[in-house]
C-alpha cells in the first residue's frame, strides 16, 4: 500500500490532497494507496473533512526504509519525516519552489506547477477521471483551492485556479462565498489552542542569511482574537524556537478580509528583519503590512537581515 502525504502541520491542502490522490491512484490507476497525515489537521481542515463526510486519515510519526510513498504539497525535506530519503519516493506533486535535498531510488514522476493549490494540479492530472470522482473528493478539491487562494484574494491565485474552483462549485451546486465563509470561520476559531500550538499550526522552516527561522502564518477573519494574545505568543516564541532548533519564530497574522498582515515584533532581531524585508518602520511590538497575504509569494522571497 503506497502512502500519500503532505507536509507537517497539515493545512487544508495538505489534508485534502492526499485523500484526493490516494482515491485516484486506487480507483483509477489501480495502484492501492492510502492517505496519511504528518500531524493533526488545523481547524479549517477538520471542518472540511466533516463538511464533506471524509474520514480523517491516519496520523503517522515516520516512514520506514524502502516504504513506497507519494509526496504532495511540498518538496522540502524539513517539512517531511526524518528518514524520508530512505523511503521509496515514487512521485511528487507540488506548487512550491524546488528546495532540493530529496533523494529517490530511481527516476520518478515529478509535477511542480506555478499554481495556487496542489488540488488544482491534481484536477489537471486526473483529466476526465474527475467526472467519476465521488462528491467528497470533488468537495475536497474545491475546499483546498478556496483555502490556498483565500477565496481568490491571495496573489498566488491564477485564472486557472479560479476557473477550476468555479467549475467544481457549479458541478457540486455549492455557493463559493458561503463555503469559503464557513471555512474561514472555522480557521479563525483558535480558542482551544495553546500559544505554542498556534505558533506551530501553519509554520514552515527556512534558512535566511544563515539564520534558522520558523515562519508561521495564521490566516483569520478575526485577527483581534489572536492579537489579544500577542504578549503570551511572543513569550512562547522563545521556547518554541529552542525546542525546534530555530533562531527565531516569526508570526504573521493575516487578516483575510482587510488583506493585510500583522507581524509580531518581540525583539530587535525581528525588528531588523521587518525593516530590511518590508517597506515599514517598526515603532512597537507589532507592524501592519498592507497587502501581504501569501507566505510563499510575498514573505519568504523577501526575507533578509
CATH code at position 226:
3.10.310.20
C-alpha cell at 77: 525535506
Looking at the structure, tell me whether residues 33 and 163 fall in a common domain.
yes
Looking at the structure, tell me whether residues 135 and 269 fall in a common domain.
no
pLDDT digits (tens, 9 = 90+) for 160-215: 999 999 999 999 999 999 999 999 999 998 888 999 999 998 898 889 999 999 99
C-alpha cell at 266: 518581540
C-alpha cell at 277: 524585508
Looking at the structure, tell me whether residues 95 and 176 fall in a common domain.
yes
Looking at the structure, tell me whether residues 275 and 152 fall in a common domain.
no
Mean pLDDT, rounded, for 39-61: 96
State phi, psi for 112 to the nearest 5 degrees.
-125, 120
Note the pLDDT of residue 98: 93
> Where among 169, 186, 203 does a domain terminate?
186
> Where among 138, 162, 186 does a domain terminate?
186
C-alpha cell at 246: 530555530
Looking at the structure, tell me whether residues 71 and 175 fall in a common domain.
yes
The secondary structure of 76-116, three-state, reads: CHHHCCCCHHHCEEEEEEECCCCCCCCCCCCCCEEEECCCC
pLDDT digits (tens, 9 = 90+) for 236-280: 999 999 999 999 999 999 999 999 999 999 999 999 999 999 999
14, 46 in Cβ contact below 8 A?
no
Helix (H, G, I), strand (E, B) or coil at 278: coil
CA dihedral angle for residue 5, residue 95, residue 176, residue 260, rounded to 10 degrees: 110
Looking at the structure, tell me whether residues 132 and 248 fall in a common domain.
no
C-alpha cell at 10: 497539515
Q: Give residue 248's domain range.
A: 195-302
Looking at the structure, tell me whether residues 11 and 125 fall in a common domain.
yes
Note the pLDDT of residue 279: 96
Region of residue 218 (phi > 0: left; psi between -120 and 50: alpha; otherwise: beta): beta
> Where among 145, 164, 186 does a domain terminate?
186
Note the pLDDT of residue 128: 96
**How far is the C-alpha of 166 from the C-alpha of 163, rounded, in Å?**
5
74, 96 in Cβ contact below 8 A?
yes
**How far is the C-alpha of 20 from the C-alpha of 196, rounded, in Å?**
30
35, 69 in Cβ contact below 8 A?
no
Helix (H, G, I), strand (E, B) or coil at 10: coil
Looking at the structure, tell me whether residues 40 and 125 fall in a common domain.
yes
Share of the chain above pLDDT 90, in %: 94
As a whole number, the mean pLDDT across the chain is 96
Helix (H, G, I), strand (E, B) or coil at 46: helix
Note the pLDDT of residue 192: 85
Domain count, the chain: 2
Note the pLDDT of residue 191: 84
DSSP 42: -
CATH (domain of 179): 3.90.1640.10
Alpha-carbon separation of residue 190 from 42, 140, 224, 232 (angstroms)? 9, 22, 11, 14
Looking at the structure, tell me whether residues 173 and 243 fall in a common domain.
no
Note the pLDDT of residue 242: 95
CA dihedral angle for residue 180, residue 182, residue 187, residue 192, rounded to 10 degrees: 180
Looking at the structure, tell me whether residues 164 and 38 fall in a common domain.
yes
176-188 vs 159-172: helix axis angle to the nearest 10? 100
Amino acid at each position: 500500500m503506497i502512502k500519500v502525504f503532505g507536509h507537517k502541520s497539515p493545512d487544508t491542502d495538505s489534508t485534502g490532497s492526499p485523500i484526493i490522490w490516494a482515491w485516484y491512484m486506487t480507483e483509477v490507476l489501480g495502484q492501492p494507496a492510502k492517505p496519511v497525515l504528518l500531524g493533526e489537521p488545523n481547524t479549517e481542515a477538520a471542518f472540511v473533512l466533516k463538511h464533506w463526510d471524509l474520514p480523517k486519515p491516519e496520523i503517522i510519526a515516520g516512514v520506514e526504509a524502502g516504504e513506497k510513498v507519494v509526496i504532495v504539497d511540498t518538496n522540502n525535506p524539513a517539512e517531511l519525516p526524518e528518514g524520508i530519503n530512505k523511503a521509496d519516493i515514487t512521485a511528487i506533486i507540488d506548487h512550491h519552489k524546488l528546495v532540493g535535498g530529496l533523494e529517490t531510488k530511481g527516476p520518478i514522476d515529478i509535477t511542480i506547477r506555478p499554481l495556487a493549490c496542489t488540488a488544482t494540479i491534481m484536477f489537471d492530472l486526473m483529466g476526465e477521471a474527475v467526472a467519476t470522482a465521488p462528491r467528497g473528493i470533488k468537495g475536497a478539491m474545491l475546499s483546498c483551492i478556496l483555502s490556498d487562494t483565500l477565496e481568490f484574494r491571495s496573489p498566488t491565485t491564477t485564472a486557472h485556479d479560479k476557473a477550476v474552483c468555479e467549475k467544481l462549485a457549479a458541478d457540486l451546486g455549492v455557493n463559493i462565498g458561503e463555503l469559503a465563509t464557513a471555512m474561514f470561520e472555522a480557521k479563525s476559531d483558535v480558542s482551544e489552542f495553546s500559544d505554542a500550538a498556534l505558533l506551530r499550526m501553519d509554520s514552515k522552516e527556512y534558512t535566511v542569511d544563515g539564520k534558522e527561522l520558523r515562519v508561521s502564518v495564521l490566516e483569520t477573519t478575526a485577527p483581534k482574537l489572536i492579537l489579544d494574545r500577542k504578549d503570551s505568543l511572543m513569550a512562547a516564541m522563545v521556547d518554541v524556537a529552542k525546542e525546534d532548533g530555530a533562531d527565531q519564530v516569526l508570526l504573521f497574522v493575516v487578516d483575510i478580509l482587510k488583506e493585510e498582515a500583522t507581524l509580531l515584533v518581540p525583539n530587535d532581531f525581528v525588528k531588523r528583519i521587518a525593516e530590511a524585508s518590508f517597506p515599514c518602520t517598526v515603532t512597537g511590538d507589532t507592524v501592519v503590512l498592507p497587502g501581504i497575504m501569501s507566505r510563499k509569494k510575498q514573505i519568504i522571497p523577501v526575507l533578509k537581515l
